[in-house]
Structure 1
Amino acid sequence: MEQTMKQSVRRPLWTKAFLLTALSNLLLFFSFQMLIPTIPMHVAQLGGDDLQVGLVIGIFTISSLITRPFAGKALDRLGRKHVLFVGLSICVLTIAGYSYLAAVALILAARFVHGIGWGMSTTSLGTVIADIIPPERRGEGMGYYGLSNTFAMALAPLTGLWVMNLYGFHRVLLLSTCLALASMLSSLFITYKKPSVTNPAKDTQQPRVIDRFIERSALLPSMLLYFTAVCYGGIVTFITLFGRETGIANVGWFFLCNASMVLIVRPVTGVLFDRKGPEWVLLPGAGFTIGGLLLLSYAHSEASLAAAALCYGIGFGSIQPALQAWTMNRTPPERRGAANGTFFSANDLGLGSGAMLLGAFATYIGSYALMYRYSVVLMILFLLIYGWCLWQTRRGLTALQRAS
């Protein structure tokens, strides 16, 4: 009776630690997203060619991807706040340092270092928030926490371009540096009780080399995230070229409508995840993502583009936080760092390979609209793999119930 009462109690979500972690994440992502459209323009103004402009994003992604598994191991071994502070410090110093770099080669080198700090910081914040959110409210908490990313994605690029057009790139860097510094300062006040180790005996055993950097329980959600990230990478990279191909003047409507729907849907699907389970969010989310991609491939006006964005936003806004919450539910506390490293690495890899693979495919077939239409295959794979795993799990539970 006492145990049932404890399980029915819903612990508070909006704690000081939760709010500070979400604030630190918002400031960091805003700082980062301001540079997404502006730093390639700056490199081009310095005389960089198309390859160098592309490397500004590519090198950052590669270094972040390489860093995450090591950051995940360090989080589990050295502690959350130490790795977070080092990562945020690197971000602050490199963003401030861009102002003093006049050569494209030096900016590319700084981008590599910045990617290391970004990989450490975001993996750390994802692990800290997983520690803070009560397990029974993990879906809801991840949904609200993810809104900080959405706000940044919706507003920061426009802010960066506005500041650059009015005051120049150095003012963008000044504002971005201040935001990253504020993120670092706010993270210093995050305090919470360290989660207990679920299996101390297992933790003392010497793990295999690959298990030191990759968390096996996170592989399935990470694979599903990869499919989603490839599709999104194709959208953010080629949506402008798609607009030229179809005669849609203002493709910015896609991002505005997509972000608006993500803001609406994430709190709702988070509660649904906690009450019903991941399949109630992931299966409909994949369906809406497929619908959004199909609508996008047939879009020919701003109105049809907005409709595609609204549908896609429901799917995209549902899947990512649900997969992260599901990953944390499958992972013991002492392995959350490695799990987040695995999870976010899949996201980075998906965004990067989506830009390259879908871009090559679009060149081959000669149409960005067809590229979006055929990318639906990735989400069908998402449904098939998850559906098969769900069936296997329920089959095993049924067999266990019969045996007992």
Structure 2
Amino acid sequence: MMIPELPAYLTQLGGADYKGYIIGLFTLMAGLSRPFSGKLSDTIGRVPVMIFGSLVCVVCSLLYPLVSSVFAFLLLRFFHGFSTGFKPTGTSAYVADIVPFNRRAEAMGMVGLASTIGLSLGPSIGGWMSNMWGIHTMFQASAMFALLSVVILVGSMKETLQNRQRFSFKLLKIQRNEIFEPLVIGPMVVTFLTYVSYGTLLTIIPDFSAHLGVQNKGLFFTFFTASSIGIRLLAGKSSDKWGRVPILKISSAMLAVSMVMLAMSGSPNMMLAGALVYGAALGLNSPAISAWTIDLGDPMHKGRALASMYIALEAGIGIGAYLSAFIFHNDPKYFAITFYLNAAITVFATVYLMFIYPGKQRLRNTH
């Protein structure tokens, strides 16, 4: 809900030159917290980790209206990243516990569908509420939605982790081998390369929309959602049937095409067409990546494997946010080069899947 409104809110505080930090600081904290959420998910349980992530959303949403300086805003944005660092890790591990192997990607696709609806319809709802009643009301509504998540978690979700431990502060001590799961390097590389573009979109689409004369800065995400919903109903099943890597080759190529379409956009219609292609590509990509990560990871450390994948995701989003803000620098003439650069980065994901990853697999099989 906040994404399209935060750049203008930060500008009002005097921080127009720090727009890239809105996504960058958030994803930095999310990435830093992943090893902790992965370890805690595998020790104290999936549900407590999810509850903590949702509670962070509640508290931070209520604090935004109280900040009055650029530093305070950026500090709050940094700590808000705990929410994404914890909630998706617990959720994905929970789903992996309850779903059979042969329907894993299908299930991840359905969870991703719900996530996409929230991530993508949220900006439109947030923009509408902010225009109607002001940005403070939008922040309060965001807190309410997060609180409803906590209510559902506490009231109706049974813990799936066997042999749980009680929380103790010694669990927060992370060993080197607990930072990430080496077995899922392949999914991590592809996740990083494909999510750089997502960080870019979150950062500059509000400005790009305004540049093209689109009043509702969240409209791009509405079209993105519609496309993603349509493809996710089939995407998981296709990955379970045809394999993770073939689907990821297709989705990576589609992501690159969508970036080229945005670079060439001179009208709202072309921009929204790019949103449709991007939504379809990400709808194919996300469940396949998640299922591939679980396939390759240690069954006893699902949380760690998924946290590793999410570290790569946050790194991609964060670098995309910083890079796009640096290149764009509030000058519309740099929109095209920003999108073209993202297309090139995404193309390398396809190159990795076609030529580099198979070679590494063959090398591993010879030892």
| TM-score over 0.5 for the pair | yes
RMSD: 3.1
Post-superposition offset of 1:395:
5.4
User: Alpha carbons of 1:117 and 1:359: their partners in 2 closer, same or farther (altered >3 Å)?
Assistant: closer
2:187 is aligned to: 221
Q: Which has the higher contact order (CA 8 A, sep 6+)?
A: 2
Equivalent in 341, 358, 367 of residue 391 of structure 1: 358
Whether the 8 Å contact between 1:253 and 1:302 is mirrored in structure 2 is no
Post-superposition offset of 1:143:
0.8
* 1:175 is the counterpart of 2:141: yes
Helix, strand or coil: the match of 1:344?
Answer: helix
Distance of 1:224 and 1:328 partners within structure 2: 15
Distance of 2:258 and 2:306 partners within structure 1: 28
User: Alpha carbons of 1:177 and 1:248: their partners in 2 closer, same or farther (altered >3 Å)?
Assistant: closer
* 1:345 is the counterpart of 2:296: no
Equivalent in 375, 378, 388 of residue 345 of structure 2: 378
Equivalent in 18, 26, 35 of residue 2 of structure 2: 35
**CA shift digits 1:112-157 (9 cap, x unpaired):** 3322233122222222222222211011111111111221133211
1:256 is aligned to: 222
User: Alpha carbons of 1:352 and 1:276: their partners in 2 closer, same or farther (altered >3 Å)?
Assistant: same
User: Alpha carbons of 1:292 and 1:112: their partners in 2 closer, same or farther (altered >3 Å)?
Assistant: closer
2:247 is aligned to: 281
Whether the 8 Å contact between 1:289 and 1:316 is mirrored in structure 2 is yes
Post-superposition offset of 1:325:
1.0
1:23 is aligned to: none
Whether the 8 Å contact between 1:253 and 1:305 is mirrored in structure 2 is no
* 1:369 is the counterpart of 2:366: no
1:293 is aligned to: 259
2:167 is aligned to: none
Pick which of 251-260 and 312-321 moved more: 251-260
For residues 73-84 of structure 1, what are the structure 2 equivalents within 5 Å?
73-84=39-50
Distance of 2:105 and 2:67 partners within structure 1: 43
1:267 is aligned to: 233
Distance of 1:52 and 1:367 partners within structure 2: 17
Distance of 1:365 and 1:99 partners within structure 2: 30
* 1:113 is the counterpart of 2:79: yes
Post-superposition offset of 1:111:
2.7
User: Alpha carbons of 1:272 and 1:39: their partners in 2 closer, same or farther (altered >3 Å)?
Assistant: same
Pick which of 181-190 and 255-264 moved more: 255-264
User: Alpha carbons of 1:336 and 1:99: their partners in 2 closer, same or farther (altered >3 Å)?
Assistant: same
1:232 is aligned to: 198
Whether the 8 Å contact between 2:46 and 2:161 is mirrored in structure 1 is no
**CA shift digits 1:147-204 (9 cap, x unpaired):** 112211332112112222222233222211111111011112212543699xxxxxxx
Q: Which runs of 4+ in 1 moved over 6 A?
A: 396-400
Task: Report the number of matched residues.
Answer: 355
* 1:66 is the counterpart of 2:24: no
Post-superposition offset of 1:318:
0.7
1:139 is aligned to: 105
User: Alpha carbons of 1:391 and 1:222: their partners in 2 closer, same or farther (altered >3 Å)?
Assistant: closer
* 1:318 is the counterpart of 2:284: yes
Helix, strand or coil: the match of 2:265?
Answer: coil
For residues 163-202 of structure 1, what are the structure 2 equivalents within 5 Å?
163-188=129-154, 189-191=156-158, 193-194=160-161
Distance of 2:5 and 2:214 partners within structure 1: 21
Whether the 8 Å contact between 1:67 and 1:119 is mirrored in structure 2 is yes
Post-superposition offset of 1:398:
10
1:202 is aligned to: none
Which stretches in structure 2 are left out of the alignment for 5+ residues?
A: 165-173
Distance of 1:244 and 1:86 partners within structure 2: 36
**CA shift digits 1:345-374 (9 cap, x unpaired):** 211111111122244445699632233234
1:150 is aligned to: 116
Letter matched to residue 231 of structure 1: S
Pick which of 144-153 and 124-133 moved more: 124-133
Letter matched to residue 367 of structure 1: Y
Which stretches in structure 1 are left out of the alignment for 5+ residues?
A: 1-33, 198-207
Post-superposition offset of 1:50:
1.7
Larger radius of gyration: 1
Distance of 1:194 and 1:249 partners within structure 2: 47
Letter matched to residue 240 of structure 2: D
Calculate the TM-score normalised by the size of structure 1: 0.78
Distance of 2:73 and 2:214 partners within structure 1: 32
Distance of 2:88 and 2:362 partners within structure 1: 37
Distance of 2:201 and 2:61 partners within structure 1: 27
* 1:128 is the counterpart of 2:106: no
User: Alpha carbons of 1:61 and 1:378: their partners in 2 closer, same or farther (altered >3 Å)?
Assistant: same
Calculate the TM-score normalised by the size of structure 2: 0.85
